[in-house]
Amino acid sequence: PFMRWKERYLYCMEGVNRAAAATGEVKGSYLNVTSATMEQMYERADYAYSLGTVIVMIDLVIGYSAIQTMAIWARKAQMILHLHRAGNSTYARQKNHGINFRVICKWMRMAGVDHIHAGTVVGKLEGDPLMVRGFYNTLLLTELKVNLAEGLFFDMDWASLR
């Protein structure tokens, strides 16, 4: 097969455990459970859980219903859910059409994603430094105030929604 995910998970967790033992620090790896069906993602997530990982990763391309479903699974398993932005640039990278990444940040927050890479000022997820800070603030803060430089055009109260 193309990707032997069980073996990959085992090798990853072996490395994580070896590094933790050598340094005395908590270590981790984002085991990607993305697959073609929910049944396969559940199988992969359950296996990752059985190996002792505390975080699993899914790709944006699985769709919003699947993302929210995996967020529910992660809550029940008391695991952290990381979202990989795979596919993001197909609709967020263009200046003349598509949507801004801030919209995705809000959707993912409402869907229950715990962690997402919001970009940097260099590289393929590059952006204006203030705009990137606005993305992070959108993901992290419980209350946002208007800040035009960061792309925040109105106040937002997220209450307890993390």
CA dist 87 → 63, 74, 115, 132 (Å): 10, 22, 17, 19
With respect to residue 56, please indicate whether it lies within any of the assigned structural domains: yes
Q: The tokens of 60 are what?
A: 């944006």
Count of domains for the chain = 2
Tell me: do 124 and 89 sit in the same domain. no
**For residue 41, is pLDDT > 80?**
yes
- pLDDT, one tens digit per residue, over 103-156 is 888 888 889 898 887 665 555 555 677 877 777 788 777 888 888 888 888 888
CATH number at residue 33: 3.20.20.110
Mean pLDDT confidence for 38-57: 96
**For residue 62, is pLDDT > 80?**
yes
User: Residue 152: its pLDDT value, please?
Assistant: 80
Mean pLDDT confidence for 46-72: 94
Q: Concatenated DSSP letters for the chain? A: ----HHHHHHHHHHHHHHHHHHHSS-----EE---SSHHHHHHHHHHHHHTT-SEEEEEGGG-HHHHHHHHHHHHHHT-EEEEE-TTTHHHHS-SSSS--HHHHHHHHHHHT--EE----SSSTT---HHHHHHHHHHHH-SEE--BGGGTB-S-EE-TT--
Give Cα 26 distance to the centre of its chain. Answer: 20
Tell me: do 21 and 66 sit in the same domain. yes
Indicate the pTM of the whole model: 0.81
11: pLDDT confidence band, cut at 50, 70 and 90? very high
**% of the chain exceeding 90 in pLDDT:** 44
**% of the chain exceeding 70 in pLDDT:** 85
User: Residue 134: its pLDDT value, please?
Assistant: 79
